[in-house]
Amino acid sequence: MKQTTRTWLGVVALALVGVSLAAQSGTEVQSAVDAAYKKFQTLKEGKNADYIPALAKVDPNLFGIAVVTADGKVYTAGDVKTEVSIQSISKVFTMAQVIQEQGLESIEKQIGVDATGARFNSIIAVEAVRTVVGAGTPEMNPLVNPGAISATAMVRGATADEVWKKVIGFHNDAAGRPLSVLQDVYKSESDTNQRNQAIGALMLAYGYIKGNWQQAVDLYTRQCSIGVNAKDLATMAATLAFGGKNPVSGKPVLDAAKVPGVLAVMATAGLYDDSGKWLYHTGLPAKSGVGGGIIAVSPGKFGIAVVSPPLDDAGNSVRAQRAITAISNALGGNPYAARMIGS
């Protein structure tokens, strides 16, 4: 055989190995997703959130899983079309938007990036840190309500409408489609958000919020009511997994250099007082919402989301935690699990 023919055969063989590896890993992802769906489909633990009346009415059997990989492929099981309210998962994207616009240090200086060790809407946590901004290091974070409402207040805009267009626009870019507010949830939450109004007023008193706290609480309530399905959430997670660029649409959303800061806050505070336990078992930066969604990020590998409304005592979806843990463990998603170079 001539040398050139041999070289070409080698190239073709290598290409075929490459194709089959890609196909094999795609099959591996789908099998992990299917196995978790089958395993947890009948799990009935947990209870829908009911402190917002509209959330109690959502079908507790809703269960959808989606994984998005670097090539923008989406692997799914179950119901990935029905929308739930994004709730606290929106806190990640509003924080990311402020970081994109005003830099990593803006959030650190104005809100803080410390885990509070308290429930998401704790008022004692605000009183406990009591740092008046400018008089010490703020010790909140943008993933619990006091910090999240303050982060929404930091988004720049001359009017509430201008701020809202930026907030929803950032969520749209991360999800790769135009999202809209679930009006029944927005109304239900607005009628019952007196606790968040108290937090907003306190944040003004302590200097975390500079302007109109009522507007910030209203826009925060609206951002929590954005409707998303498992596929939207997995795409949003994948945007954070792949350097801030949405791998399905190809659109850059957040500068790559700013992504690690966002993921660090998710790792320390994304599942509230259970964040440490979650990290111990998965190693994944993640964020839950009381609508039943959880997003998790395996940097450089995949973004994953599960929607299932029944929650545990900490306010995190039971099935979503189990399914994400199983899938990530099957795919080697834990960034703390070392893969030795050269061995």
How many contiguous H segments (helices) and E segments (strands) does the chain have? Answer: 14, 7
Read out DSSP for 139-179? ---TTSHHHHHHHHHHS--SSHHHHHHHHHHHHHHHHTS--
Q: How far apart are CA 236 and CA 218, in angstroms?
A: 23
Token couple for 110: 């104005």
In the complex, least distance from residue 279 CB atom to ligand DON, rounded to whole angstroms: 16
* By the rule CB under 6 A, 121 interacts with ligand DON: yes
Q: How far apart are CA 60 and CA 80, in angstroms?
A: 14
Q: What is the length of the chain?
A: 343
* By the rule CB under 6 A, 288 interacts with ligand DON: yes
* By the rule CB under 6 A, 189 interacts with ligand DON: yes
Q: How far apart are CA 171 and CA 97, in angstroms?
A: 9
- Interface residue with ligand DON among 48, 69, 76, 87 (CB under 6 A) is 87
In the complex, least distance from residue 252 CB atom to ligand DON, rounded to whole angstroms: 27
Specify whether the CB–CB gap between 233 and 83 falls below 8 A: no
Q: How far apart are CA 92 and CA 148, in angstroms?
A: 9
- Interface residue with ligand DON among 122, 145, 235, 246 (CB under 6 A) is 145
Read out DSSP for 242-286? TTTB-TTT--B-S-GGGHHHHHHHHHHHTTGGGHHHHHHHH---E
* By the rule CB under 6 A, 315 interacts with ligand DON: yes
If the CB atoms of residues 315 and 333 are measured against ligand DON, the closer one turns out to be 315
- Size of residue set near ligand DON by CB under 6 A: 12
Choose one: 240-248, 285-293, 297-305, 328-336; the region binding ligand DON (CB under 6 A). Answer: 285-293
In the complex, least distance from residue 82 CB atom to ligand DON, rounded to whole angstroms: 18
Q: Compute the Cα dihedral for 275, 276, 280, 281 and give only its sign.
A: negative
In the complex, least distance from residue 303 CB atom to ligand DON, rounded to whole angstroms: 19
* By the rule CB under 6 A, 273 interacts with ligand DON: no
The whole-angstrom distance between residue 40's C-alpha and the CA centroid of its chain comes to: 21
In the complex, least distance from residue 246 CB atom to ligand DON, rounded to whole angstroms: 23
Q: How far apart are CA 184 and CA 162, in angstroms?
A: 23
Choose one: 11-19, 28-36, 244-252, 286-294; the region binding ligand DON (CB under 6 A). Answer: 286-294
Residue type at 152 in one-letter notation: T
In the complex, least distance from residue 145 CB atom to ligand DON, rounded to whole angstroms: 5
- Interface residue with ligand DON among 67, 168, 204, 224 (CB under 6 A) is 224
* By the rule CB under 6 A, 141 interacts with ligand DON: no
* By the rule CB under 6 A, 138 interacts with ligand DON: no
* By the rule CB under 6 A, 283 interacts with ligand DON: no
* By the rule CB under 6 A, 328 interacts with ligand DON: no
Q: How far apart are CA 320 and CA 193, in angstroms?
A: 26
* By the rule CB under 6 A, 196 interacts with ligand DON: yes
Q: How far apart are CA 263 and CA 241, in angstroms?
A: 9
In the complex, least distance from residue 126 CB atom to ligand DON, rounded to whole angstroms: 14
If the CB atoms of residues 76 and 88 are measured against ligand DON, the closer one turns out to be 88
* By the rule CB under 6 A, 289 interacts with ligand DON: yes
Closest by alpha carbon to 83, among 341, 289, 267? 289
The whole-angstrom distance between residue 257's C-alpha and the CA centroid of its chain comes to: 18
In the complex, least distance from residue 224 CB atom to ligand DON, rounded to whole angstroms: 4
Q: Which residues bind ligand DON (CB under 6 A)?
A: 87-88, 120-121, 145, 189, 196, 224, 288-290, 315
